[in-house]
A and B are shown apart, each in its own frame.
Chain A
């Protein structure tokens, strides 16, 4: 269900410590998200393209990852230029396209693609287990880290249970439709999933207790010390900071 297609590789990015990559991601994506200048947004976009090529990922696979985002952007492009107030560029009867609307669309498009690309380049290039240990080392609370790791482990189990319940319903002649009976059936299935998930959580907790779990997070991950870690982090910090300063001076 969850593919870790990009997680394995031998590129420069893959060798970086998870915690370094998470820190770089946080700084860079916040800087990009808060940027309000079209030209600077393009520079962030270029940085994200550089990161993707440093990670040596297959371009077509990366584009596939962006697909859901494109649907969202399509909606923005249909709605925003027509509804945003500003200088009218083009008028067709009651439809009017505004200059400000178009600029805003461009900004949203570039910024969202940039942030997605940064995520793909920095985070999708590690396994969920590494992500967990990286988050742990930047002092994200253990509970949150466990939540991520357990969701990753059990989401497929829950999906399996959902399929089993649905199959059982279908074998008894259930045909989903738009009627109360179908909604009720789906509600029962959802309810059953919650019940089962909570029972399973109990059993998992028992199993953890049996193996001496003491609320501590341990990790096996090891990334050898790498001088590039610091250089990369400084590079990203420096670039983000100078772009932010540039934007402040510009305005």
Chain B
């Protein structure tokens, strides 16, 4: 595809992006700027409805911004055609795995991306198997997807994204609805990846464990670490287990 990727080069750059849903005056994204560089591991913690998902969909070309420019690998993207080229290089993990996994079986789904990229049948199966193995879930390659649990589905969805060998990964609340065991597995997997990623999460612990810097979002703009003060404090007091009110 001819993308030249060097350390510290910009992978995704959003400049002055504005977006509002048709028929609404509220700007979901308001002159937003964001840059993801090679090797970046960025977390994003922001309240519901602050436009995080819209932001990811804008990067993928699923939402067309009203103004501003999207640059991926230093190339400005305008039309659907431009996005087609970069979609294979950016992997997006959807919030709901059921949206992402639409093939009957696990292997079918993981091989779907490579097949679309033009790999032969045997190569696609090979890539799919290797990806599943890397995530330690090769044992359910033949499983029927609608019979998997939520955690299993999330891992398969991640495998199906990784099978396309993206340069950068966008994750939309990857831990939503997962138990601690799967969460730990996800942390382990993400930390072992050598690609850049951008994680949206509600969980500080998770975001903290897998990223180097944490951003937030407010009024359609990104707030960088130096502008936010996310911290947590633990405290102890004599009320014990009884419900109480903080003053």
Contact = CB atoms under 8 A, between A and B. Distances in A.
Residue from B125, B145, B146 whose CB has the most chain A CB atoms within 10 Å: B146
Interface of B: 57, 60, 62, 84, 87-88, 91-92, 94, 96, 98-105, 107-108, 111-113, 115-117, 121, 124-125, 144-146, 160-161, 164
A200 B99 CA distance: 7
Given A153-B146, A212-B113, A218-B115, A207 B108 contact: no
A220 interface: yes
Residue from A128, A204, A207, A208 whose CB has the most chain B CB atoms within 10 Å: A207
Contacts of A156: 146
Given A153-B145, A220-B107, A220-B125, A207 B112 contact: no
A200 B107 CA distance: 22
Contacts of B100: 204, 207
A214 B116 contact: yes
B117 A220 contact: no
B104 A129 contact: yes
The 8 A-B residue pairs with the shortest CB-CB distance in the complex, in nearest-first order: A212-B116, A218-B115, A203-B99, A129-B104, A211-B113, A156-B146, A207-B100, A206-B62
B112 A211 contact: yes
Interface string A193-228: 000000010011011111111101011101000000
A132 interface: yes
Query: Which applies to chain B's interface (DSSP): helix, strand, loop or mixed?
Result: helix
B73 to A, nearest CB: 17
Query: Which applies to chain A's interface (DSSP): helix, strand, loop or mixed?
Result: helix
Contacts of A203: 94, 96, 99
A218 B115 CA distance: 7
A69 B124 CA distance: 42
A210 B84 CA distance: 8
Contact of B112 (A128, A153, A209, A218): A218
A149 interface: yes
Contact of A206 (B57, B84, B116, B125): B57
A25 B102 CA distance: 28
Nearest to A210: B92
